[in-house]
Structure 1
């Protein structure tokens, strides 16, 4: 009997709908029934699903990633069942490549809605695949256009086009059309001022105009128990944060201007990458009936904002030192991987100077940026002590000897790859260099004939840069003979590094964070709890469900923080 897997996906997550009624659940049930009719066995561990994720996403789909990992190096199932091809994806290039990977792994792909197997045995079948993927991608583009066209009239009329905004209530406006039960259908949704929340908004503007900072305002509101925006996702700590105060101060709706189209959610490939549109493309609608902040107070707060921003830019020579966008890792090993036991908030690093010495401690972000009312945990844990304890526990519980041996053997095989040996590498580089020279000659002729200058010059610069890299590498290879690869020596060196892997991780946190990210499941964080008198416990779950936990004992001098 053939073993089969199931993959189901739905783009829009259905909030407030039971599991039994979800489209993903229905897809799985129908796929089970299809497998039963065919006489196939559905293995529970090979049921993969993604709910609320676009078909244009291929990297940020957990179920899809698990499916593709399962077929390597050898697939444990022989059949994959889906409702239709678009469930696999709605981006033609990625979808075609994914199907090729599945079929090359000897997995037969069936669609139960058509009772059809997808094969790629002939040129005709391949072109049909391209046409189907083209149709799916066109449908995604048409859906985007339909949504945009439906939202523009609502935005121009000042109606709600998104979720809730703090300071307002969403009010359903009925139409004259009734449904089958005789109930009036909703025409649209309008904003109405919520006076209790509006007063909080005005207070934020007053405090800022008086000279208070974002963090001070957030702590003041939390200490008073003031209503706050609902966190997203709901599992995050509730309460005011400096970032939410900043959003309030910059939202022009409070001054009677509704802005639509400020950001675009997805890029040209359909992937979720929000980016800001040019201001000339914004749709700005005056809504004086929704103004909460008086003109004078608004102008005063904005004047202070502009003044502070100009002062900041002068002090940094015009550079914005915000969150890095170049993918640079944090210099601290476990920030982003740890959370507070009391509130679930992230831990961050606070530093203090004691004379000529600076110390670093992990602390709860919620407590220090939102105030003790939202999280009373004031722990300050010595960073070096925490790093060392967690790394040692991971080494003991997760990095078992059998895993280490396999990892070393794999590393030696990679290092001993014949294609990377000097003679083989030199041959590959010389071929690529000759190819680049030919391309540069053709590009030069195209420029001389009056081709598109900007595009051609960009192509020339790209190839000249690569040519320089190859020439530099060839110079190193030609400088002298390279000693032959010694597998035993390489294995010995790797074992030596692993003996001190904890020390290496602390000395090179950016590289070690990449290892930690692979060891910990996505969205799983190490929970740290203050046990009192300088003692802290931690618990985490590594890949494959392996649990690790431990106790950190620091110096205790009779102060609440235990440092």
Structure 2
């Protein structure tokens, strides 16, 4: 009996795929019929993760790391479909080549491509179709979200201060009071992001997800036009970094929405003016005033603020 690993992946984007338990069941049945043993410790999985990149697939990366051990821990990796392994041909080629050199086969239990020279062509065609499906699906999702956004419908979950009801944001008074207080501390009490976060944390107030407030959390709230009845979206994705820099970052679309405002527009505008004027919004109150290398030249890649030196 040969040892095999099982890799199971499900994505929130795809509705036709089998559940993790169903994939494991089919893999075990295949293994039993084909002379493989699949130990429990060699079942790797990623739940709700896209296959277009390996960066955030912890189960996949753990499996690859295990495969590199000597002596090799297993002879094959069993998948429900090749699309579970990767929806990116470049990743597929790189990792399959590496595994092949280690003497480890990658086997799709539902796509029997054989082991002759034609199997190379067939497997490549399957991978190309998987990548096409993934790209096409992403375009369809983007198109649908664009249409929803154009009609004033929500394309994201509610931020602090709102709940979602019947597809629309409704005010959550408890959260709304926290948001109003944050704007009051920032605009009227002239407090910075760091001190606001510290005061809220000291009082035991937590974010929407139950975490401590951070400077970037406060920045996101201050610069979010949703609080004046607008909605913001980055059609190309990846807009969250820009949201820490300004209320309307590059490539971000902002339109009037249907939900009620929490913050008065005048207060919101004053907050934006202060944010623009504050060159170092995240600088600690104890930061050094002395000159140091690269002062005023380096920016944080996440929030856009200047990096500073803090006194210790």
Q: Does 1:50 align with 2:46?
A: yes
The answer as to whether partners of 2:242 and 2:250 remain within 8 angstroms in 1 is no
Q: How far is the alpha carbon of 1:223 from its aligned partner? A: 4.2
Q: Does 1:257 align with 2:230?
A: yes
Q: How far is the alpha carbon of 1:226 from its aligned partner? A: 4.3
CA distance in 1, matches of 2:62, 2:114: 21
Runs of 5+ consecutive residues of structure 2 not aligned to the other structure? 283-290, 304-308
Describe the shift of the 1:200–1:5 C-alpha distance in structure 2 as closer, same or farther (beyond 3 A).
Answer: closer
Aligned to 2:217: 244
Write 1 or 2 for the structure with the bigger share of helix.
1
Q: Looking at both structures, which has the greater relative contact order when contacts are Cα pairs under 8 Å and sequence separation is at least 6? A: 2
Q: Does 1:307 align with 2:272?
A: no
CA distance in 2, matches of 1:309, 1:261: 25
Q: How far is the alpha carbon of 1:249 from its aligned partner? A: 0.8
Q: How far is the alpha carbon of 1:208 from its aligned partner? A: 1.1
Q: Does 1:298 align with 2:286?
A: no
Aligned length: 288
CA distance in 1, matches of 2:67, 2:196: 53
Write 1 or 2 for the structure with the bigger share of strand.
1
Describe the shift of the 1:92–1:291 C-alpha distance in structure 2 as closer, same or farther (beyond 3 A).
Answer: same
- TM (norm. structure 1) is 0.46
Q: How far is the alpha carbon of 1:137 from its aligned partner? A: 0.6
Say what the alpha-carbon RMSD is for the aligned residues. 3.4
Describe the shift of the 1:322–1:162 C-alpha distance in structure 2 as closer, same or farther (beyond 3 A).
Answer: same
Of residues 120, 137, 140, the one that matches 1:126 is 120
SS of corresponding position for 1:230? coil
Q: Over alpha carbons, which structure has the higher Rg? A: 1
Q: Does 1:135 align with 2:129?
A: yes
Aligned to 2:3: 3
Aligned to 2:153: 159
Q: How far is the alpha carbon of 1:228 from its aligned partner? A: 3.4
Describe the shift of the 1:244–1:93 C-alpha distance in structure 2 as closer, same or farther (beyond 3 A).
Answer: closer
Q: Does 1:193 align with 2:171?
A: yes
SS of corresponding position for 1:26? helix
Describe the shift of the 1:118–1:350 C-alpha distance in structure 2 as closer, same or farther (beyond 3 A).
Answer: farther
- Residues 204-261 of structure 1: CA deviation (Å, up to 9, x unaligned): 1121112112222223334444463224xxxxxx333332222111111112221111
The answer as to whether partners of 1:198 and 1:292 remain within 8 angstroms in 2 is yes
- TM (norm. structure 2) is 0.78
SS of corresponding position for 1:134? helix
SS of corresponding position for 1:54? coil
- Residues 58-107 of structure 1: CA deviation (Å, up to 9, x unaligned): 24433223333333354333333211111110111221232233333333
Q: How far is the alpha carbon of 1:2 from its aligned partner? A: 2.4
Aligned to 2:198: 219
Describe the shift of the 1:8–1:294 C-alpha distance in structure 2 as closer, same or farther (beyond 3 A).
Answer: same
Of residues 66, 75, 78, the one that matches 2:75 is 78
Q: How far is the alpha carbon of 1:290 from its aligned partner? A: 2.4
